Amino acid sequence: MTLIEVLVAMAIVTMMMVSVWSSFSSTVRAMEETEKIQDRYAMIRNTMDRMSSEVSMAYLSFNRPQEETRHFTLFEGRGSADGDSLTFSSFAHLRIRRDSNESDQTVIQYFLGPDEDDSSRTHLYRRETTRLTGDLPEDLRRYAPAYVLCEDVESLEFRYWDPADQDWRDEWRTTSNDEQPDRMPPRIEIKLGVRNEQTEETEYFVTQAVIIMQEKIDLEK
């Protein structure tokens, strides 16, 4: 075999190896991208499922001191140009320790907020406290930390079905005498707007939750 033949053979083998490696690299990148997309949709699906579950266990209670004017249980859905927020009392508290001195009662809050390190990113935050102290939704931040529930959420919208008007409402406030005092919506629509990194467009995910306890309850009975 001449030197030229050896060089030609080596060139052919090199081209084949480059072709195989290029194909393998493309396959690996496609698999990584697919896995990333699947993880993203799984996070969104888990977020929607958790919100639906917690909202479905919302409740209002008669139990408070007779002279007290604060609302220890509430369902406050507020609209804002920066994204809606929802604060509500629920039986959705998860007890981590078996011997913990906690009940199922809790107050949960959902809202949009900027990333602590990158102000260009907006996340869906969840705040929870087992202290039913009658504080207003805006005062919960004083003692209840918030944690990211879903990253890179561009919009958060809630709508509340009002059976009295047979129509959807953009807000629902049980603590206001001018709104829906001591009255729960039978169902709520949850809508998340999440940016798709591949298409650079906003994708919307919608679900509804049915609130089981429509009437105020008396926990002393």
Rounded Cα distance, 133 and 20, in Å? 65
Q: Nearest Cα to 138, choosing from 87, 74, 80, 75?
A: 87
Res 90: pLDDT: 94
Pair type for strands 187-196 and 201-210: antiparallel
Q: Residue ranges per domain, the chain?
A: 45-210
Rounded Cα distance, 1 and 186, in Å? 86
Res 219: pLDDT: 66
Rounded Cα distance, 170 and 158, in Å? 7
Res 24: pLDDT: 66
Q: Give residues with Cβ within 8 angstroms of 76, minimum separation 6.
A: 85, 86, 87, 88, 137, 172, 173, 174, 175
Q: Do 135 and 105 touch, CB atoms closer than 8 A?
A: no
Res 120: pLDDT: 86
Q: What is the pLDDT of residues 126-142, one digit of tens each?
A: 999 988 877 788 888 88
What is the DSSP code string of 129-187?
A: ES------GGGGGGT--EEEEESSEEEEEEEEEETTTTEEES-EETT-TTS-TT---SE
Q: Do 86 and 110 touch, CB atoms closer than 8 A?
A: yes
Res 11: pLDDT: 75
CA distances from 71 to 49, 182, 184 (A): 28, 10, 14
Res 91: pLDDT: 92
Res 196: pLDDT: 83
Q: Do 71 and 175 touch, CB atoms closer than 8 A?
A: yes
**CA–CA–CA angle 74, 81, 192 (5° rounding):** 75
Res 42: pLDDT: 92
Res 66: pLDDT: 63
CB burial of 92-113 (b: ≥16 within 10 Å; e: otherwise) equals bbeeeeeeeeeeebbbbbbbbb
Average pLDDT along the chain, 221 residues, taken 10 residues at a time: 70 76 72 80 94 95 67 88 92 80 87 91 93 82 92 95 93 80 90 86 94 81 56
Res 36: pLDDT: 82
